[in-house]
């Protein structure tokens, strides 16, 4: 349980917090490619303060949270449209495939719970927030 009494579903120490959005034409090949990219992306400082290490080289910990709102279209009006976000029956297996592939690569992966409201706490230790499109 968290300090507020809420159930903690997934937690990691130092590592990556990954919000995964899925759109209609995403595939299992995209999921595998994303997992590989996340595992090997050199965005963690080395001993000289240079972003030269990956999560594979360091903590090996990744928190994966499904986030359909990443595909919000705010181009028209004041209410976001989520038409570009994949339906749950398409998105859930692909998010699970990213998690499975990361685990095969050697990651310690924690997850949120699909189709639930979640409170995600993050300490962003450094200047890196990326949008990765596969």
Q: What is the DSSP string of 77-127?
A: SSS-B-TTBPPHHHHHHHHHHHHHHHHHHT-EEEE--TTS---------SS
pTM over 0.85: yes
What rounded mean pLDDT belongs to the chain? 92
Distance between CA atoms of residues 59 and 57, nearest Å: 7
**Residue 117: what pLDDT?**
84
Residue of 118 and 91 predicted with greater confidence: 91
**Active-site positions?**
67-69
pLDDT tens per residue across span 10-64: 989 889 999 999 999 999 999 999 999 999 999 999 999 999 999 999 999 999 9
Distance between CA atoms of residues 33 and 101, nearest Å: 9
For residue 94, pLDDT over 90 is answered with yes
Question: pLDDT category, 4, cuts 50, 70, 90?
Answer: low
For residue 6, pLDDT over 80 is answered with no
Region 16-111: CATH code: 3.50.80.10
Domain residue extents for the chain: 16-111
pLDDT tens per residue across span 100-127: 999 999 999 999 888 888 888 888 887 7
């Amino acid at each position: 349980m968290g300090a507020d009494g809420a159930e903690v579903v997934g937690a990691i120490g130092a590592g990556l917090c990954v919000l995964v959005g899925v759109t209609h034409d995403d595939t299992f090949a995209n999921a595998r490619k994303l997992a590989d990219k996340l595992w090997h992306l050199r965005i963690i400082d080395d001993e000289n303060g240079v972003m030269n290490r990956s999560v594979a080289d360091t903590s090996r910990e990744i928190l994966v949270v499904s986030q359909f709102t990443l595909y919000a279209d705010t181009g028209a009006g004041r209410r976001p449209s989520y038409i570009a976000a994949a339906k749950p029956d398409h998105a859930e297996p692909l998010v699970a495939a990213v998690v499975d592939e990361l685990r095969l690569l050697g990651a310690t992966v924690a997850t949120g719970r699909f189709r639930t409201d979640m409170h995600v706490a993050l300490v962003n230790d450094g200047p890196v927030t990326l949008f990765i499109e596969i």
